[in-house]
Amino acid sequence: MQTPRYAFFEGRIVPFAEARISVMTHGFMYGTACFEGIRGYWDERAGALAFFRLRDHYARLHRSCRILRLGLRYPVEELCELTAELARKNGDRADVYLRPIVYKSALQIGPHLNGVADDFTMLMLPFGKYIEAGGGIRCRTVSWRRPSDGMIPARAKVNGLYVNSALAKTEALEDGYDEAIMLTADGAVAEGSTENLFLVSDGTLVTPPVSDSILVGITRDTVLTLARRELGLPVVERRVDRTELYVADECFFCGTGAEISPIVEIDRRPVGPGKVGPVTRRVQALYLDVVHGRHPGYADWRYPVGIP
Ligand code: PMP
């Protein structure tokens, strides 16, 4: 994987090699950090990188920080401006992935959060597809459960919580699947290792509710909005049983990295006829049009930064 040229670290832009933390950093020892994953789409005609729903990602970062008692001194608008500055400095004229992180920066033993110093860092690098989903992917329900709100809140994008995603994804990969589906502690469908999940049943889009141990995904919200406004599809957020996946007409993952990734097999059962379905195709095409600025609406979802 390519490494970035510059990073934002300790209040300024520095060469990437200088953005280093101590092994005694609280956030490293205890996973006490929150982050975002954001895509910037390169627009050749405009000579600009368009960050997708940048303000919404930074608003979620602020919410994660409230849960984890992390101080983030930059308001959303300033974070957007810092992002633009870093993008211009890096100068990548290609699709990028942006990773802002707020972390407990004190060199300190003991996991408590109160009274512990924090800091903000961010890096970005050229990034293509996260999942090769052309013909649809194969998934399994893994043995690892999603922690519930009273364990580690999935609503906050906490670095330490990704141990759960790592265990789940590894189990799926080593068993020959492309991605994991995780259940809640009491057995309802939650989400993938880094994606939210939708199913299509009788023309209705169904997705687990925010109270079922999921990250409140920005792509999930994008899909819900586009389905209602542009596709006229009924959408329902409700508890989903595991076996509903086995009888669904279609299934797909969505996320910043995964974009829209069709699922064609779950636990050795074909989803519908075992091919990418028509609703998933419509959602995927529309999503890609919106993020790439080919759709006439939703300009306010794109934050363009001219790259000289
Ligand atoms: N769930 C988890 C666990 C994730 O890590 C991600 C990726 N951020 C998502 C869902 C999708 O969220 P978003 O659409 O905001 O990228």
pLDDT in tens, 66-104: 999 999 999 999 999 999 999 999 999 999 999 999 999
218 C-beta closer than 6 A to ligand 1: yes
Tell me the CA–centroid distance for residue 31 and ligand 1, in Å: 18
Residue nearest to atom 7 of ligand 1 (CA): 194
Looking at the CA of residue 37, tell me the nearest atom of ligand 1. Answer: 8
269-270/302-306 β-pairing: unpaired
Per-residue pLDDT, 3: 87
Residue nearest to atom 6 of ligand 1 (CA): 194
226 C-beta closer than 6 A to ligand 1: no
- Residue 157 falls in the annotated catalytic set: yes
CA-wise closest residue to 301 among 214, 225, 231, 234: 225
CA distances from 60 to 71, 72, 116, 244 (A): 14, 12, 21, 30
State in Å, rounded, how far the first CA of the chain is from the last one.
24
Per-residue pLDDT, 2: 78
CA-wise closest residue to 302 among 14, 38, 21: 38
Residue 157, CB half-sphere, CA atoms under 13 Å: how many? Answer: 23
CATH code 3.20.10.10 region(s) in the chain: 137-291
Domain 137-291 class in CATH: alpha beta
Q: Is 7 left (phi over 0), alpha (psi -120 to 50) or beta?
A: beta
Tell me the CA–centroid distance for residue 53 and ligand 1, in Å: 13
Spatial distance between the Cα atoms of 45 and 40, rounded to a whole number of angstroms: 15
Looking at the CA of residue 218, tell me the nearest atom of ligand 1. Answer: 15
Mutation probe of ligand 1 site: the residue of 38, 196, 260 with most atoms within 8 A of C-beta: 196
CATH code 3.30.470.10 region(s) in the chain: 6-126
Spatial distance between the Cα atoms of 79 and 87, rounded to a whole number of angstroms: 12
Spatial distance between the Cα atoms of 195 and 207, rounded to a whole number of angstroms: 12
Spatial distance between the Cα atoms of 189 and 191, rounded to a whole number of angstroms: 6
Tell me the CA–centroid distance for residue 195 and ligand 1, in Å: 5
Residues of the chain falling short of pLDDT 70: 133
- The whole-model pTM stands at 0.97
82 C-beta closer than 6 A to ligand 1: no
Looking at the CA of residue 193, tell me the nearest atom of ligand 1. Answer: 3
215 C-beta closer than 6 A to ligand 1: yes
Residue nearest to atom 10 of ligand 1 (CA): 195
Burial (0-12, 13-18, 19+ Cβ within 10 Å), 229: exposed
- In the structure encoding, which two tokens stand for residue 123, read together? 């890096």
* Contact (CB, 8 A) for 286 and 225: no
Per-residue pLDDT, 109: 96
Per-residue pLDDT, 129: 80
* Contact (CB, 8 A) for 60 and 185: no
Looking at the CA of residue 154, tell me the nearest atom of ligand 1. Answer: 3
Spatial distance between the Cα atoms of 81 and 65, rounded to a whole number of angstroms: 20
> Which of 3.30.530.20, 3.90.700.10, 3.65.10.10, 3.30.470.10 is the CATH number of 6-126?
3.30.470.10
Catalytic residue among 104, 129, 157, 169: 157
Residue 68, CB half-sphere, CA atoms under 13 Å: how many? Answer: 34
* Contact (CB, 8 A) for 83 and 122: yes
DSSP characters over the chain: -PPPSEEEETTEEEEGGG----TTBHHHHH--EEE--EEEEEETTTTEEEEETHHHHHHHHHHHHHHTT----S-HHHHHHHHHHHHHHH---S-EEEEEEEEE--B-SS---TT--EEEEEEEEE---SS--TT-EEEEE-SPPBP-TTTS-TTS-BGGGHHHHHHHHHHHHHTT-SEEEEEBTTSBEEEESS-EEEEEETTEEEE--TTTT----HHHHHHHHHHHHTS---EEE---BHHHHHH-SEEEEEETTTEEEEEEEETTEESTTSS--HHHHHHHHHHHHHHTT-SSS-GGGEEEEE--
